[in-house]
Structure 1
Amino acid sequence: MVQERPVRVERRLAAILAADVVGYSRLMHRNEEATHAKLTTLLTDGITHAISEHGGRIVKNTGDGFLAEFPSAVEAVRAAVQFQTRIRELTVADAADGRIAFRVGINVGDVIVEPHDVFGDGVNIAARLESIAEPGGICISSSAYDHVRGKVGVEFADLGVQNLKNIALSVRAYAVVQDGLSSAPGPSRAKLDLPSPPRLSIVVLPFANLTGDPEQDHFADGVTDSLTTDLSRISGSFVIGRHTAFTYKGKSVDLKKVGRELNVRYVLEGSVQRSGKRLRLNVQLIDSETENHLWAERFDKPVADLFDMQDEIVARLANALNAQMIAAEARRAERSVNPDAMDLNFQGYAWSYRGVEHMSEARSFFERALAIDHGSVGALVGLALVDLTIGASLLADNRVAYLSAAEANAIKALSLAPDHAVAHRILGGAYIFTNRSAQGIAECERALEIDRNLVGAHSAIGIAKFFMGRGAETEGHIVEALRLSPRDIFAHRWMHIAGMAKILIGADREAVAWLRRSIEANRNFPAAHFWLAAALGLLGERDEARSAAKVGLKLDPGFTISRLLVSEASNNPTYLAERERVCEGMRLAGVPEG
């Protein structure tokens, strides 16, 4: 039997040049036809001629870039320098946010050659070097540098050893220095005057369907679509549109490159997997500049109504991501030497999310922001949030003054931004805690028309029902708030409200369950201990009731029943009559009369 000879694979040593357009997807999203025409002109007038002049050939175009092969590293670098210079000349008059620029990576290696493509680590390294180059810059490997040093008339900056993605061995890299500026990360960005990413900018990459069942693609795509829509409702956010995001579907992507292409700071990616009657969704928020994971969550749900499940998952993610992105921006702002009003607002909100005990720190940042920008809606809403949070405590001193200040700042914010959902919600809260619950509910419903996932509006409506003597309706609104944001910093307050409502309608055992949940969520919230004492007292469990009262008094030694009675938030007759049960329960628990 004659054994067939193996097919010979053609290999050769070559200089590989990989080039890519900076922010191609963003540019195409802004103006497809103009971007395509301009890129075609640049390829014709600036790039193709330079490559052929230096003995190279374009192996293939990749839509937003190209791959070229040269027999000489010297000629590859000369060609790159020539066409990068020419592109700058051709685009110098273009607006900065619409200017086309290329990144270039060059490597020398032994590659597999086919008529219309080249393969191997030599190619992959060139592509990875391109990804770390600055816009308009050129990065080369040490293997290329050894060939070109002293021969190409340009200087190089040593970038040190680089750990390139999916490349097993580290590679030392060098950046070409042109016109006194290095194409290493940093200097050339200022030269090109490219805009920095908006602060709350994010792209939701298409969620991966790990099920293996194409029938589940619609669910994964639906989550991506809905989350993109909901995130766009976050005040001050910049969310890349669905059609641009879906150009990455099914592809292995470099997140740093995605961030640069789309000019966004954050990337959200996730996956969907179905197993039997359960569905699992994993999601993670990533800083595109560092590829650091900022937040991750996993959802396990029974497969029932996919649309209801999708709505719940999307709503919870939108609420969590809002807080996570603001926290990340606050950390950035802390490093700023000269913070602007928006930097200060982010820091203020980050402090407010830590709880009531940090409201003074939050206030200081909002006041500083307002001093810089007297019309800062974010600062006005932030100050209103601080005052409402303090005034909403029925046990706070000077609560009327706090609530009046919250109302004034919320109204001023709405005069500047009539559709600001959070401002409507805060104004609604100020009305609710000053005996105007019907007006408060109307404001909260307006907030939910603007942002259906605004959890604070759901909880506030539940509180309003409590003050209107309709405590039986309160629990449903609290459950909805907890469904949307189960780990919310204010969840303990919502649980407390549900427990209070249960006492007023005589469901003392259910009240105990809610109040214990509130205490588990935050053991340092004194009001929950006092109301738990009341519920236990009404149930005849006196020893436990006294123990709960003692814990409450340790946290708030000045609390008395009289103090509760003077902190009036409603004159509704049903509410006032039902509240007498609470006072009786507290007396049975040994809470001081005052």
Structure 2
Amino acid sequence: MPDGLADPALPPAQSDQITLRLRLIGTMDAWGLASERVLPRVRKTRGILAVLALSAGRPVPRARLTGLFWSRRDREQARASLRQSLHELGHALAPCGGILVTTRETAQLLPERLWVDATEVLRLGATEPAALDVIEGTLLADLDGLDPAFDQWLAEERRRFRARARTQAEAHYSAHDPAEVRVVAARRIVQIDPTYEPGWLALIQALGDLGDRSAALAAYDQARAELARVGAEPAAELEATAQRLRLELRAAGQPRTEVSTSHPPPQRATVRGARIGVAPLKLLGTGAGEHLSIALADEITTALSRLRWLSVVSSATLARLHDPTDTVAARRDLGLDFLLAGSVQAATSPETGAPQVRVSLSLLDLRAEAQVVWAQRFDRDASDIFALQDAVASEVVARIDPEILLIEARRAESRVPAPASAYELLLKAIPAIYRLDRVPFMEAGVLLAAAIAREPDYAAPHAWYAYWHIFLVGQGWAENAEEAMRTAGDLATRAIALDPADARGLTIAGHVQAYLHRRHDQAIALHDRALSINPNLPMAWVFSGAAHGYAGRHAEAIRRIERYRRLSPMDPHAFLFETGLMTPHILQGDYAEAVRIGEAVTAMQPNLTAAWKPYAIALALMGRDQEAREAARRLLALEPGFTISGFLATTPYVRPEDLATLAAGLERAGLPSG
């Protein structure tokens, strides 16, 4: 999940007037009224949007904008560039209903239609200290380097924002509170401003008062590291406090628990996802423009930020390290779990003479000694740079999302003692869902229910528990199918309410509507919202295609589902995604293709009943009766209560001619009529 809106302490916009929501804490992003992403492509246009958003609804003079973004150009060139950027901004914000107002002299965002996380966190933080916990990341972390004047403005805005948030956090700290309450409040202060020495002193003293002197000295080490980064040394009071703690440890005969370095990873308020950084891409050889390297890293960062379960650190932030690819520093100073690094190299096609680009990328697991867990090379035509950026970023994100999810799940499964957080319970459940062994599958349902009980306002477990119920019904394992379907609908609705910008939650909700309740139009609307938020999510393309297929649009179903193959051809959940292609091919009369897919998916996952049904149908309609009966036997072994009448009563396909085709295949395969 991206930085900034990762914590439920900061609620989404509620007013019916709000048509634009902006995230400025961490990597910038923007959503319109229907949760579609409206972030402009060009970074300077994003910068203009940020300036307007932070101007408290006041009109901003055009001269001010040209001075910030084109300070080195003459007046007429700057004004022309601004006109172009405002035109692009107006186009991007078109779904937001006229929120951008421009005149010959000014530009403005209508404040009554605007919701900004940085503004909202300061509003809520005055009375609700937990709202300040979302400040995990730099304000507009991905917009450094647009112009010297803008950089100066941005530095001042960051200082002001940090100072106001820190002041609010300090207002909620009281030396008269119990030590455990002071620890939480002090950690919040130093998370907001890691170089604020009074906050570190308060934290160290509170930990000491709790009796945890080793933790207090570890916090002292971290304070020294943060101060060293800005060229400062701890003050005498902080040094004296640390010395007193050391003496108390020795007097108590307790050895100090050593920490790895004087730069431990940053504290994170709520861990609900892996933290990944995108290093600036290295340029190899000659001819590869620096602009492509920067733009591609930025595009990948933006695409990753659409995944709500990941916390993303931009290449601009990593660039501040002495060596952005230094895995030790990335883990130590930025608290990264994963680092995506690579290179860009330009070439010319020997056959056509057209420009080409080779992008090589590796994903490193920093918690496993920087082990390479994924690597890919992309050779692309460079004649259209924007298309190149979009294609590479889309494929990278679609492919590493499930890889990171599996790594995180394995780590949660091996955790001793048992997982403690809702996030870890969720991770432990996900592999068991796809494994489709009945006993572990049922245990996954218990884990998801426990995750919801532990954190009722966490959207992801609700979405995955709804997804679990889809399999429960589809596999024929539900004791009461109608009750399971109702529960799935309730869970999916709750997931959307908790996080309306989570593409995965939206598409799971859409699949519940289509697969379990036959509400195809509502489902397609949810899938389209999911794809507008994250067009790189293979699951959304597959479930969107399935919904079109249920309604009888089989060519469109195939087109959409096959999109996942281009995004993530080696997806670990390909067995499920490929299964969605079988019935549309059958209903178009292409039985051979359905059989080919059926052979593959039943070999990959022999426990999926949803695969054996169309496989048996396709074999039967091809006249391969013996093989069809064997497929039917395998299906009945997994789902003993299966009948043709029961299937027709619950299948999401609705056209009479489609139902007749499916029934004919099932009958010829020898399955019981019921």
Specify the TM-score bucket, using the shorter chain as the normaliser: 0.5 to 0.7
Counterpart among 345, 364, 384 of residue 286 in structure 1:
364
Contact 1:407–1:427 (CA<8 Å) still a contact in 2?
yes
* Superposition deviation, residue 392 in structure 1: 4.6
1:149-206 superposed Cα distances (whole Å, 9 cap, x missing partner): xxxxxxxxxxxxxxxxxxxxxxxxxxxx88859998429979x996258552221112
Matches within 5 A, 1:514-533: 514-533=597-616
Indicate the residue corresponding to 1:384 in structure 2: 466
Q: Structure 2: how far apart are the matches of 1:579 and 1:427?
A: 25
Per the normalisation by structure 1, the TM-score is: 0.64
Indicate the residue corresponding to 1:564 in structure 2: 647
Counterpart among 661, 664, 670 of residue 581 in structure 1:
661
* Superposition deviation, residue 257 in structure 1: 1.1
3-state secondary structure, aligned to 1:335? coil
Q: Structure 2: how far apart are the matches of 1:510 and 1:416?
A: 41
Matches within 5 A, 1:23-34: 32=155
Taking a change above 3 Å as real, the CA distance of residues 35 and 274 of structure 1, as seen in their structure-2 partners, is closer
Matches within 5 A, 1:35-46: none
1:315 aligns with 2:394: yes
1:341 aligns with 2:422: yes
Indicate the residue corresponding to 2:287 in structure 1: 214
Structure 1, unaligned stretches of length 5 or more? 1-24, 37-91, 103-132, 139-176
Matches within 5 A, 1:358-437: 358-392=440-474, 398-433=480-515, 434-437=517-520
Matches within 5 A, 1:270-285: 270-273=342-345, 277=349, 280-285=358-363
Taking a change above 3 Å as real, the CA distance of residues 426 and 252 of structure 1, as seen in their structure-2 partners, is closer
Contact 1:269–1:283 (CA<8 Å) still a contact in 2?
yes
Taking a change above 3 Å as real, the CA distance of residues 240 and 384 of structure 1, as seen in their structure-2 partners, is same
Q: Write the letter of the residue equivalent to 1:380.
A: H
Q: Write the letter of the residue equivalent to 1:270.
A: G
Taking a change above 3 Å as real, the CA distance of residues 459 and 395 of structure 1, as seen in their structure-2 partners, is farther
Taking a change above 3 Å as real, the CA distance of residues 397 and 487 of structure 1, as seen in their structure-2 partners, is farther
Q: Write the letter of the residue equivalent to 1:234.
A: L
Counterpart among 334, 353, 360 of residue 262 in structure 1:
334
Contact 2:287–2:347 (CA<8 Å) still a contact in 1?
no
Taking a change above 3 Å as real, the CA distance of residues 194 and 546 of structure 1, as seen in their structure-2 partners, is closer
Indicate the residue corresponding to 2:546 in structure 1: 463
Q: Write the letter of the residue equivalent to 1:493.
A: L
Q: Structure 1: how far apart are the matches of 2:462 and 2:324?
A: 43
1:478 aligns with 2:561: yes
Indicate the residue corresponding to 1:67 in structure 2: none
1:99 aligns with 2:194: yes
Contact 1:388–1:426 (CA<8 Å) still a contact in 2?
no
Taking a change above 3 Å as real, the CA distance of residues 178 and 455 of structure 1, as seen in their structure-2 partners, is farther
Indicate the residue corresponding to 1:156 in structure 2: none
Per the normalisation by structure 2, the TM-score is: 0.57
Q: Structure 2: how far apart are the matches of 1:432 and 1:27?
A: 41
3-state secondary structure, aligned to 1:559? coil
Q: Write the letter of the residue equivalent to 1:341.
A: A
Q: Structure 1: how far apart are the matches of 2:188 and 2:457?
A: 33
Contact 1:380–1:409 (CA<8 Å) still a contact in 2?
yes
Indicate the residue corresponding to 1:325 in structure 2: 404
3-state secondary structure, aligned to 2:518? coil
* Superposition deviation, residue 270 in structure 1: 2.3
Taking a change above 3 Å as real, the CA distance of residues 342 and 542 of structure 1, as seen in their structure-2 partners, is closer
Q: Structure 2: how far apart are the matches of 1:313 and 1:402?
A: 40
1:296 aligns with 2:391: no
Q: Structure 2: how far apart are the matches of 1:411 and 1:527?
A: 24
Q: Structure 1: how far apart are the matches of 2:305 and 2:324?
A: 25
1:420-449 superposed Cα distances (whole Å, 9 cap, x missing partner): 322221221111021110111011111122
Q: Write the letter of the residue equivalent to 1:342.
A: Y
Q: Structure 1: how far apart are the matches of 2:522 and 2:265?
A: 50
3-state secondary structure, aligned to 1:203? strand
1:21-80 superposed Cα distances (whole Å, 9 cap, x missing partner): xxxx978988856999xxxxxxxxxxxxxxxxxxxxxxxxxxxxxxxxxxxxxxxxxxxx
Q: Write the letter of the residue equivalent to 2:421.
A: D
Taking a change above 3 Å as real, the CA distance of residues 26 and 288 of structure 1, as seen in their structure-2 partners, is farther
* Superposition deviation, residue 478 in structure 1: 0.7
Indicate the residue corresponding to 1:204 in structure 2: 278
3-state secondary structure, aligned to 1:267? strand
Q: Structure 1: how far apart are the matches of 2:633 and 2:508?
A: 33
Q: Structure 1: how far apart are the matches of 2:511 and 2:398?
A: 19
Once the two structures are overlaid, the 10-residue window that deviates more, 360-369 or 425-434, is 360-369
Taking a change above 3 Å as real, the CA distance of residues 26 and 414 of structure 1, as seen in their structure-2 partners, is closer
Taking a change above 3 Å as real, the CA distance of residues 237 and 494 of structure 1, as seen in their structure-2 partners, is closer
Counterpart among 294, 297, 301 of residue 228 in structure 1:
301
1:540 aligns with 2:614: no
Contact 1:392–1:403 (CA<8 Å) still a contact in 2?
no
Contact 1:205–1:248 (CA<8 Å) still a contact in 2?
no
Aligned residues: 444
* Superposition deviation, residue 531 in structure 1: 2.1
Q: Write the letter of the residue equivalent to 1:297.
A: A
Q: Write the letter of the residue equivalent to 1:291.
A: E
Q: Write the letter of the residue equivalent to 2:668.
A: L
Indicate the residue corresponding to 1:14 in structure 2: none
Q: Structure 1: how far apart are the matches of 2:320 and 2:260?
A: 30
Contact 1:316–1:484 (CA<8 Å) still a contact in 2?
yes
Contact 2:279–2:325 (CA<8 Å) still a contact in 1?
no
Q: Write the letter of the residue equivalent to 1:511.
A: A
Contact 1:134–1:185 (CA<8 Å) still a contact in 2?
no
Q: Write the letter of the residue equivalent to 1:501.
A: P
Q: Structure 1: how far apart are the matches of 2:632 and 2:385?
A: 46
Once the two structures are overlaid, the 10-residue window that deviates more, 275-284 or 580-589, is 275-284
3-state secondary structure, aligned to 2:294? helix
3-state secondary structure, aligned to 1:214? coil
Contact 1:203–1:264 (CA<8 Å) still a contact in 2?
yes
Contact 2:539–2:577 (CA<8 Å) still a contact in 1?
no
Taking a change above 3 Å as real, the CA distance of residues 443 and 99 of structure 1, as seen in their structure-2 partners, is closer
Taking a change above 3 Å as real, the CA distance of residues 337 and 137 of structure 1, as seen in their structure-2 partners, is farther
Indicate the residue corresponding to 1:237 in structure 2: 310
Contact 1:504–1:579 (CA<8 Å) still a contact in 2?
no
Contact 1:345–1:369 (CA<8 Å) still a contact in 2?
yes
Greater relative contact order (Cα < 8 A, sep 6+): 2
1:391-424 superposed Cα distances (whole Å, 9 cap, x missing partner): 3558976443322211101212222333232222
Counterpart among 529, 532, 540 of residue 449 in structure 1:
532
Taking a change above 3 Å as real, the CA distance of residues 346 and 541 of structure 1, as seen in their structure-2 partners, is closer
Taking a change above 3 Å as real, the CA distance of residues 378 and 356 of structure 1, as seen in their structure-2 partners, is farther
Q: Structure 2: how far apart are the matches of 1:562 and 1:28?
A: 59
Taking a change above 3 Å as real, the CA distance of residues 336 and 440 of structure 1, as seen in their structure-2 partners, is same
Q: Structure 2: how far apart are the matches of 1:576 and 1:279?
A: 51
* Superposition deviation, residue 583 in structure 1: 2.2
Higher strand share: 1
Indicate the residue corresponding to 1:195 in structure 2: 267
3-state secondary structure, aligned to 1:239? strand
Q: Structure 2: how far apart are the matches of 1:468 and 1:96?
A: 54
Q: Structure 1: how far apart are the matches of 2:296 and 2:511?
A: 31
Q: Structure 2: how far apart are the matches of 1:343 and 1:407?
A: 24
